[in-house]
Amino acid sequence: MNNLDEVSKEIKKFNEDRDWDQFHAPENLAKSIAIEAGELLECFQWNNNFDKQAVYEELADVVNYCILMADKLGVDLADITKEKMKKNAIKYPVEKAKGTSKKYNELDNKEDDKINKARELVTKVRKLAEEYNANFYFVTDGASAINNKENEAVEVARNAVAKWEREHGIDDKEDWRK
């Protein structure tokens, strides 16, 4: 028996001793979970200087109601958590989700990511152009300089754009240079 099983038994006994099961319909338990989660969130309402003991107590309340809900529904928390983690692994594969807080339905749009990264690169190149007192605009075939005072700036910009395109498989340059 693991710690969660022991805690679950204690919670169930606590409620049985008080005859509270009569109040624990699934919808009531769901409401209680939401209410206690709100109280947990309240611990962080105005700043990050939170009372750890209050956080622990509210977190315990959320867990207590989750355990009661699982019991009422006749499911094993470990089993349903493992099943959900399997689904999450499919929705959030490491190669797509690592290091990003995007929701699963935003991860598949690689083209948007490429375009956004390209726009970031364009911003960096424009800053570089300012350092060299050169004005740039972007067209399908690469960076072009107008009133260029430093040929080196043009070459750096073209090389940076070309390298990024090769690394990210950008074929249609029209999309991101607008």
By the 8 A CB rule, do 121 and 160 touch?
A: yes
Whether residues 12 and 60 fall in one domain: yes
Lowest mean pLDDT among 30-44, 60-74, 98-112: 98-112
The residue range of the domain holding 17 is: 3-75
Alpha helices in 43-145 (DSSP H): 52-73, 77-91, 94-97, 104-107, 110-131
Structurally, the chain folds into a number of domains equal to 2
User: Higher-confidence residue: 131 or 50?
Assistant: 50
Cα 96 from Cα 124, distance rounded (Å): 25
Q: Is residue 43 part of a domain?
A: yes
Any idea what DSSP says for residue 149? S
Residue that wins the pLDDT comparison between 27 and 149: 27
Confirm whether 68 is domain-assigned. Answer: yes
The end-to-end CA distance of the chain, in Å, is: 62
Which pair of tokens denotes residue 28? Answer: 């009531």
